[in-house]
């Protein structure tokens, strides 16, 4: 008997220059991306947190292309991540607006939470922008690492490794964070 076609969320783990990442996708597009955790089990657990019916699979079509683009980007190669379709069906409306605005920040560029809020027409919403970035289900594709605190300071970063990871992702793009007590010792 042929197996029924899976129509929910499919996921895979894949190797990159920064470690083993994860991706989950639906028929609508990429639903989640996960930066590396200390091991595959934790990467998978964070990737699938809140996803009810995910099934492991091999990326094909648009998902395969997205994995290739993310992998190339993390190797420091030019990759147009803006062409990757995202499934934002589970994302609140304000966060969608924030993520769309963040995707417009070019590789090698950065802006502050306040600047991003102003671009959205909500200059007093810098903290809300920060919360959206903290909950970003699409890191790298939605480049939350390019959003900094006022004065070019690192701000926060919720991925494993925190500010070290943020600094590493920015360094891949040729951006160096200013040396502060929060970034002292970062490469």
Task: Tell me the pLDDT tens digit for each residue of 45-73.
Answer: 999 998 878 999 999 999 999 999 999 99
- Residues 150-167: tens digit of each pLDDT: 888 888 888 888 889 999
Residue 68: its H or E element? helix 61-74
Split at pLDDT 50, 70, 90, the class of 133 is very high
Q: What is the pLDDT of residue 179?
A: 64
Three-class SS of 149-185: CHHHCCCCCCCCCHHHHHHHHHHHCCCCCCCCCCCCC
- Residues 82-122: tens digit of each pLDDT: 999 999 999 999 999 999 999 999 999 999 999 999 999 99
Q: What pTM does this model have?
A: 0.88
Task: Count CA within 13 A, CB hemisphere, residue 72.
Answer: 12
Selected residue with higher pLDDT from 163 and 1: 163
pLDDT at 125 over 60: yes
Split at pLDDT 50, 70, 90, the class of 4 is very low
Q: Are strands 19-26 and 10-16 parallel, antiparallel or unpaired?
A: antiparallel
Say whether 111 is catalytic: no
Q: What is the pLDDT of residue 181?
A: 41
Q: What is the pLDDT of residue 70?
A: 98
- Mean pLDDT across the chain, nearest whole number? 90
Q: What is the pLDDT of residue 5?
A: 47
Give me 178's structure tokens: 């200013």
Name the catalytic one among 144, 159, 170, 177: 144
């Amino acid at each position: 008997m042929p197996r029924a076609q899976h129509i929910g969320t499919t996921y895979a783990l894949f190797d990159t220059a920064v470690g083993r990442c994860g991706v989950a996708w639906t028929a609508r597009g990429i639903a989640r991306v996960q930066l590396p955790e200390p091991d595959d089990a934790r990467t998978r657990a964070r990737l699938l947190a809140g996803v009810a019916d995910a099934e492991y699979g091999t990326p094909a079509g648009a998902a395969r292309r997205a994995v290739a683009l993310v992998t190339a980007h993390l190797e420091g190669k030019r990759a147009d991540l803006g062409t990757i379709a995202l499934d934002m069906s589970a994302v609140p409306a304000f966060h969608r607006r924030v993520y769309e605005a963040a995707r417009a920040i070019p590789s090698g560029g950065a802006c502050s939470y306040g600047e991003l809020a102003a671009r959205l027409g909500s200059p007093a919403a810098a903290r809300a922008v920060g919360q959206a970035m903290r909950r970003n289900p699409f890191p790298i594709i939605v480049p939350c690492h390019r959003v900094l605190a006022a004065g070019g300071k690192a701000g926060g970063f919720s991925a494993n490794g925190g500010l070290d990871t943020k600094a590493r992702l920015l360094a891949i793009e040729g951006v160096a964070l200013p040396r502060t007590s929060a970034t002292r010792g970062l490469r």
